Chain A
Amino acid sequence: MKETKIKTRDLTLYYGAKMALNSISLDIPENEVTAFIGPSGCGKSTFLRTLNRMNDLIPTVRITGEVLVDTLNIYDKQIDVVNLRKKVGMVFQKSNPFTKSIFENVAYGPRINGINHKGQLGEIVENSLKKAFIWDEVKDRLHDSAMGLSGGQQQRMCIARTLAVEPEIILMDEPASALDPISTAKIEELIFELKKNYTIVIVTHNMQQAARVSDLTAFFYLGELIEYGKTKKIFTTPDKKHTEEYITGRFG
């Protein structure tokens, strides 16, 4: 078993009076892909967002319990959220390129972290685009607008942008749900490659995608963690009837 990278303990989250997550305790291992599955409204995206404090932006949210990244409780008052989000990057459902060139999109993070040397930035941009398997497609038009890329290319560029600030963990919220099968396959291949160096947590509605890309799967229902285990076990012989019914499409 690999080292634990993220550990949550009794993590409970309220939106106003409504409890959205009920005492979630789970260990996410380093350099593996962990998938969160469950029907809409089950809390999987909310839980994902607690891992880099994205829910802080919602005023009615109240959180109790702990989230430890390595050994650091990320909800401690002293934590610098900007630094946390550098370490725990995020890729969203809909690609969100800035209305800038491809180069500037990827260089954006390193630039605000104080890197201004042209050569160094060029190197970071190239490496990040290579890691995101998009370099060959864009190397001759780095200074063209990112808005001219296809949806799948935009999403891989956004992954490159995330990689440019050298995170250790990448959170992905439905990263391929708006993409065609070819682009989806590229993203899945990319995830497979990235896990060698990064810890990846992915939320997906696509059960086959969870089965294909993840090492571990957590099934959420009504804000509770119902079952968590190796993906190959969950998709062949789940322990809980609820999990079985969900993944076989009998409810949800």
Chain B
Amino acid sequence: MQAQMNKIALGLMLPLAFFTAPAWAYTAYVSNEKGNTISVIDTDKLEVVATIKVGRRPRGIELNKEGTELFVCAGDDDAIQVVDTRTRQITGKLPSGPDPELLTLSPNGDIIYVSNENDNLVTLIDVKRKEQIGDIPVGVEPEGMAISPNGKLLVNTSETTNMAHIIDAQTKSILANILVDSRPRFAAFKKDGSELWVSSEVGGTLTVIDPARLEVKTKISFDVPGMSKEAIQPIGISISGDGKKAFVALGPANRVAVINAETKEVEKYLLVGQRVWHLAFTPDEKYLLTANGVSNDVSVIDVAHLKVIKSIPVGAFPWGVVVAPQ
């Protein structure tokens, strides 16, 4: 029902899209957890232009700095696969350890940090040499990974310990362990490095951390009318480059919360597809794409107008999404 109404609403809004300025054509990559594929989306046409077959259970995906290589966590294959974005072929794999889920790249693109859930470790991989170069013991079930824009602070969230571990990226020692609400799954820095945002899936909240003082600044909670508290499960976070707006995927609540990233007030809830996991801006921040795990589609949010303008069917159980400049 909801999906149907969503579609009707989309139908009404679609003509609007033609009157807005044309966007640069970027390429978005969506990992399909059960489809074992990556859907390639042209963000100008807003449609799938190719599908890449990858390993089993692809979830976390990241691009290298140049956008020429895509790193795909193929959980059930216990590896991070490397896809050449030009030829769309798998060119190799990185030794991630068992069941990789999320990864992040150092700002200079040399090191991949991946959470290794089975061993309670963050594993470091040298991208060029394709070798493990160390690990850092953290809490139980490490998951979310983020690195500060200046590359100095590495953040890992542990799902059962319920902490954000703030790590000195150079010395690899833990600077602080900050308690957040249950099952923290994702972490993101503001572009200027002034704030670190952590989503707690089961706790249903978002914790904003001051990375300079290493303490909690504030906590954001959500209230969707007619929806039980338990169904609101924040996961993916995207913060605009100017640090003014944040978008948070609310999982089975089928909504993306729009937050004023300065006042921390929730301004709006946008109805997207079902079970929304992760989000990604196009580089010009004209669009925000959402991967909707249960409805097998990607919702396209017009960022300026805060409207969902299209849903693009992708593979089975879309999970992660990244956008490349080309």
Q: Do A and B come from one complex?
A: no
